[in-house]
Amino acid sequence: MSRQATRPMEVDGDVEAGEWREALLSLLQADGPARVRSMLDLLQDVAERAGVGWRPVLGTPYVNSISVQEQPEFPGDLAMEERLASMMRWNALAMVVRANQAYGELGGHIASYASAADLFEVGFNHFFHGAERDGGDLVFYQPHSAPGVYARAFLEGRLSAEDLAHYRQEISARRDGAQGLSSYPHPWLMPDFWQFPTGSMGIGPISSIYHARFMRYLAHRGLADTAGRTVWGVFGDGEMDEPESMSALTLDSRERLDNLVWVVNCNLQRLDGPVRGNGRIIDELEALFAGAGWHVIKLVWGSDWDGLFARDTDEALIRAFAETVDGQFQTFAAKDGRYNRDHFFGQNEALKRLAQGLTDEQIDRLRRGGHDLVKIYAAYAAAAAQTGQPTVILAQTKKGFGMGEAGQGKMTTHQQKKLDRDAIIAFRNHFNLPLSDDQAEALAFYHPGEDSPELQYLHARRQALGGYLPARRRQSEALTPPAVGSYGRFALQAEGKSMSTTMAFVRMLSGLLKNKSFGPRVVPIVADEARTFGMANLFKQFGIYSSAGQQYEPEDIGSILSYREALDGQILEEGISEAGALSSWVAAATSYSVHGVPMLPFYIYYSMFGFQRVGDLIWAAADQRARGFLLGATAGRTTLGGEGLQHQDGHSHLMAATVPNCRAYDPALAYEVAVIVDHGMQAMLQRQEDVFYYLTLTNENVDNPSLPEGVEADIIRGLYCLEGESTAAVRLLGSGSMLAEVQAAAERLRDDWGVDAQVWSATSYTELEREARAVQRWNLQHPDQPARKAFVSACLDGEAPVIAVTDYQRALPQLIAAYVAAPFVALGTDGFGRSDTRSALRDFFEVDRRHIVCTVLATLAREGRLEAAVAMQARQQYSLDAEELPPWQR
């Protein structure tokens, strides 16, 4: 035993504490880390049983998790990869600065990629698999680093210099014969390039989690072999403040998703300043991820620090780091070697001694871990080898790395889009780029030539990893949906049966699931509301997906509706998380592109908690060309009587109308649902159109007629005549839950007031408006041609007034008002919801049959087609108060 081991050590003057410390270190030396961990677990158990109330701190010293001794040998050509990274940094910078010198309003980002370049390059050169390797990895790119990804694609030959010159000039590029480059990853704009949209902060992190889980879902259900594939996400430390970024962390650990690796680029800065000026974001994130069950790897310091740590026997560096907050680290990043010598190493004698052998320039070049290819490789290799849990790498970098006085570590770095000549020359010098002063000042894109050693190396690495990234598959195998009669005959031939559209849809879904060839491709998704929507009967038949199976006996095991979880379960029951359920829907809705396995997801939810709650995720789904069905149940502002303001939806269709590739319908009858579902499946699975469908469903039973002959096409176009003659005095339009009120009003008009009304079912105001807008545009662009007539204009031709009634805000039917020549009045549910019965709510919002009748009579009176006294008599007979405030003011 050494002399040191025979002498009691002291810890802050405490001899006993020194003995405990000595014993622990002796055990570590003799038996290794595993034995030490088991002893610590034992001591913690003893302390808990004794009621000591101690818990270990969820944190480790501010140093690298992987020691020098544990580092694997770097397998690549380090000098070559550093040269390549420098080229990409330059081309990314040149792309942004050139665009903003020419057009000051284009914007763009330099500093984020400058900090993350090495993190990306190690991934591209050693870890990110292309499609030719087991189907390829899924990579979510930090959006502000998009210029760097373009710069790499330029060297790979997938983008031209002319393309780079049209960064953020997508419209101008077409005119010039180039491909415009979108600001951030946008599959809609670059459908062969980007796979996932990440530009809206927080969307990428939560999406990556559910994509990783969906890969396991496909594998466990025998639909795809996803072994060997990894989901990588490179995100920013400031982005971790978004609720979506953190909302599903426990799902990963619960599901043991070791196919997921996050790299959080901790450059310590967000747009306006430090992420945590008075704390350390890496420590905070370490505690959060470790507490959620993730494997955490801290990548804080580069290899240049290894010698300092080796000489630091007193742990002065660790103590200094523990006392330095991120705001100060940012200042150190922005300052030169002399400043860091004086203000960091000058804090005490121990630190001064460590810095004695270093010049100011050497201190200035002490790299942080996220800028060291060797350290990054070690972290990535450990993450890739981790089993049983997801991994997060917390990599410390400098924002604007290499931008020197122009931007490195500056508060204004994120907004830096222009550089003066000196800053450009300094950047070139920092990365030793072979450009003349004139070339640098002209911001010439640098390409070393196809035969250069650098590009040969680059191509060889990508070929070894299975091809180039990012890349997106546009098409997959076409699926033939079953005939609508096989799952929807009951709706097509309803013959007056009473049912709600929700009930009808669930029965259709069950029929689709039972189809032996097509059923396995159907993915039912709910957010803890399956029983509400009458879907409990699906639990036992098809199972709820769980990677752990079912390790308990459910309370209702004897019931035909019992809760059944299974490894090969088909239903995704996401708990009380609309964001999680929508993310699962996106993963399934893009499976045709991501995995080459077309799936058909149906996500059913309270309509109020769809577009309003997770509208940003739906917009991202549209961007990545999702294909599937969103079902807003208990739709409308008056169908969900007792729930009140928070649950009653009167505006989701207006939100849906803003999404260009969302086809939104508000069906009133079961056969309408069947026709729309059939059409949607044909469009998305057979014709492979990049659209998705939003259907609102009601929970109110109505008597359903059978499908009239020849109306299928008009149901899809958005409007068809249900009853009445073309000679009627008024046309009534109803949709969703309001169709029954419209029909009842038409009956009263005929029986009580002698007014004939024609009733139309308006299944989609948005589809009607889009077609009419397209016709209007064509007419304006072709004034020399005979004018075309929009479908809605042709349907509602003539002078008879049109009264459109909806359970949504008036603005929804008013979408078509400009295309109708006849007098047009919209009745809707503007204002906040209330808790009451359906009849009371419809009276309150002035959309019930009595208000419809009075509106018709008043409109006819205003048009001179009826005596005003008759209209007033109706109001009096129905006890309607003409002086009552409108519902949106109550």
Mean pLDDT, consecutive 10-residue stretches, the chain (890 aa), reads 42 79 90 90 88 84 95 96 93 86 70 88 97 95 93 96 93 90 95 94 95 97 96 95 93 94 93 88 95 96 95 93 92 90 94 92 93 97 97 92 58 57 84 89 93 97 97 94 97 96 96 96 93 90 93 85 91 94 97 97 93 93 98 93 87 97 98 98 97 96 96 98 96 97 98 97 98 98 97 97 98 98 97 94 96 97 95 94 88
Q: Say what the pLDDT of residue 4 is.
A: 38
DSSP state of 686: I
Residue type at 639 in one-letter notation: T
Burial degree of 478 (CB within 10 A; 0-12, 13-18, 19+) = exposed
pLDDT digits (tens, 9 = 90+) for 605-655: 999 888 999 999 999 999 999 999 999 999 999 998 888 888 899 999 999
- Per-residue pLDDT at 545: 94
Provide the 3-class DSSP secondary structure of residue 234: strand
Single out the residue of 201, 204, 211, 274 nearest to residue 239, CA to CA.
Answer: 201
Question: Residue 734: helix, strand or coil by DSSP?
Answer: strand
DSSP letter at 11 equals B
Residues in the chain, how many? 890
Phi, psi of 421 (to 5 degrees): -60, -45
Specify which residues 524 forms β-bridges with.
602
Predicted pLDDT at 11: 61
Instruction: Return the pLDDT at 600.
Output: 98
Two tokens at 257? 């998703």
- Nearest in space to 793 (alpha carbons), one of 763, 772, 766: 772
Q: How far apart are CA 722 and CA 379, in angstroms?
A: 66
Residue that the structure tokens 């009263």 belong to = 748
Whether residue 197 is preceded by a cis peptide bond, meaning omega within 30 degrees of 0, is: no
| Contact indicator for 784, 720 with CB cutoff of 8 Å | no
Q: Which of 541, 533, 525 is nearest to 217 (CA)?
A: 525
pTM: 0.93
Predicted local distance difference test score (pLDDT) of residue 408: 59
Bridge partners, residue 825, by sequence: 803
Instruction: Tell how strand 802-805 and strand 757-762 pair up.
Output: unpaired
* Cα–Cα dist 337/355, whole Å: 11
Helix (H) or strand (E) holding 308: helix 306-311
> At a CB cut-off of 8 Å and minimum separation 6, what does 343 contact?
332, 335
CA distance 833 to 810: 15
Assess contact for 629 and 523: CB atoms under 8 A.
Answer: no
**Short-list 433, 59, 109, CA closest to 265:** 109
Can you tell me the distance from the alpha carbon of 139 to that of 470, in angstroms, rounded to the nearest whole number?
8
Alpha helices in 247-299 (DSSP H): 249-254, 281-291
Question: What token pair was written down for 120?
Answer: 């990306």
Cα–Cα–Cα angle for 506, 508, 514, rounded to 5 degrees: 105
pLDDT at 562: 87
Q: What angle do CA 383, 378, 65 make, to 5 degrees?
A: 75
- pLDDT value of residue 5: 38
Token output for 692: 């998705």
The span from the CA of 198 to the CA of 144, in Å, is: 9
Q: Are 715 and 760 in contact (CB under 8 A)?
A: no
Determine the Cα–Cα distance for residues 320 and 323; give it in Å rounded to an integer.
Answer: 5
- Structure tokens of 612? 């309003």
553, 544 Cβ separation under 8 angstroms: no
- Residue 410 confidence (pLDDT): 53
Taking the C-alpha atoms of residue 741 and residue 723, their distance in angstroms, rounded to an integer, is: 14
Q: What is the pLDDT of residue 6?
A: 41
User: Would you tell me how many other CB atoms lie within 10 Å of the CB of residue 509?
Assistant: 22
